[in-house]
Amino acid sequence: MPQPITVRKVPLLHVSDASALATLIDDGDLDADRVLAVIGKTEGNGGVNDYTRILADRAFREVLVAKGTRSPAQVGQVPIVWSGGTDGVLSPHATVFASLDPATLADAERTDEPRLSVGVAMSEVLLPEDIGRTAMITKVAAAVREAMAQAGIADAGDVHYVQTKTPLLTIHTIRDAKSRGKSVWTEHTHESMDLSNGCTALGVALALGEIAMPTDADVMHDRSLYSSVASCSSGVELDRAQVVVVGNARGVGGRFRIGHSVMRDALDQDGIWAAIRDAGLDLPDRPHRSDLDGRLVNAFLKCEVSADGMVAGRRNAMLDDSDVHWHRQIKACVGGVAAAVTGDPAVFVSVSAAHQGPDGGGPVAAIVDLGAEPTGYRPPRQ
Helix (H) or strand (E) holding 335: helix 326-342
Q: Of 191, 146, 142, nearest to 169 (Cα)? A: 191
Q: What pLDDT is recorded for position 238?
A: 87
Q: In a structure prediction context, what are the per-residue pLDDT tens digits for the chain, which is 382 residues long? A: 789 999 999 999 999 999 999 999 999 999 999 999 999 999 999 888 899 999 999 999 999 999 999 999 999 999 999 999 999 999 999 999 999 986 666 556 677 899 999 999 999 999 999 999 999 999 999 999 999 999 999 999 999 999 999 999 999 999 999 999 999 999 999 999 999 999 999 999 999 999 999 999 999 999 999 999 999 999 887 899 999 999 999 999 999 999 999 999 999 999 999 999 999 999 999 999 999 999 999 999 999 999 999 999 999 999 999 999 999 999 999 999 999 999 999 999 999 999 999 999 999 999 999 999 999 999 987 5
Q: What pLDDT is recorded for position 105?
A: 62
Q: What pLDDT is recorded for position 111?
A: 76
Q: Of 371, 266, 275, 368, nearest to 309 (Cα)? A: 266
Annotated catalytic residue 165: yes
List all residues 6 or more positions away from 129 whose beta carbon is below 8 Å from its beta carbon.
135, 177, 182, 183, 184
Residues composing the chain? 382
Q: Provide the pairing of β-strand 35-42 with 80-84.
A: parallel
Cα 88 from Cα 69, distance rounded (Å): 39
Q: Which of 41, 67, 165, 331 is catalytic?
A: 165
Task: Compute CA 364 distance to the chain's CA centroid, rounded to the nearest angstrom.
Answer: 10
Q: Name the phi and psi angles at 219, rounded to 5.
A: -65, 120
The string of DSSP codes covering 290-310 is GGTTT-EEEEEEEE---TTSE
Q: Which of 117, 123, 192, 233 is catalytic?
A: 233
Annotated catalytic residue 350: no
- Of the CA atoms within 13 Å of residue 51, those in its CB half-sphere come to 0
Q: Of 297, 254, 250, nearest to 106 (Cα)? A: 254
Cα 166 from Cα 130, distance rounded (Å): 11
Q: Is 192 exposed, middle or buried (0-12, 13-18, 19+ CB in 10 A)?
A: buried
Q: Of 145, 35, 46, 153, nearest to 90 (Cα)? A: 46
Q: Is the pTM of this model over 0.85?
A: yes
Q: Is 154 exposed, middle or buried (0-12, 13-18, 19+ CB in 10 A)?
A: exposed
